[in-house]
């Protein structure tokens, strides 16, 4: 009976992991695209992409927080599958790219203003 319960929970974990990977992957793409737009001098588009990326990232972050809360309620009983490790890695990469994108957009804006 316990095996049936853990097997029933695994697809939920798998689905959550893929949801995290998908959403933060889209967010990371938005952040990278924002850098390219800023490089081309399209600052409104760059800022819009960063904002869109933040919203998409938040979706994945909320799924991750749900997994953490569930694990905390069960006192660490959740198995940590490799897929979850990958999802968390993608989550952190997207956060890093967001920080870099925001800074680079700002730098490109300052360079463009200085060249006028």
What are the catalytic residues?
86
Single out the residue of 56, 98, 94, 51 nearest to residue 43, CA to CA: 51
Residue 107 structure tokens: 């730098």
Rounded Cα gap, residues 44 and 52, in angstroms: 12
Single out the residue of 28, 47, 29 nearest to residue 104, CA to CA: 47
Alpha carbon 14 to its chain centroid, in Å, reads: 17
DSSP, res 112: H
């Amino acid at each position: 009976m316990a095996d049936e319960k853990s097997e029933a929970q695994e697809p939920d974990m798998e689905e959550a992991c893929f949801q995290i990977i998908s959403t933060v992957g889209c967010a990371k793409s938005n952040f990278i695209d924002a850098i390219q737009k800023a490089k081309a001098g399209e600052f409104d588009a760059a800022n819009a992409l960063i904002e869109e990326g933040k919203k998409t990232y938040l979706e994945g972050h909320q799924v991750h927080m749900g997994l953490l809360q569930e694990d905390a309620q069960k006192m660490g009983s959740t198995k940590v599958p490799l897929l979850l490790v990958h999802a968390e890695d993608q989550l952190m990469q997207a956060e890093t790219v967001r920080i870099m994108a925001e800074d680079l957009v700002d730098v490109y804006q300052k360079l463009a203003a200085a060249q006028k």
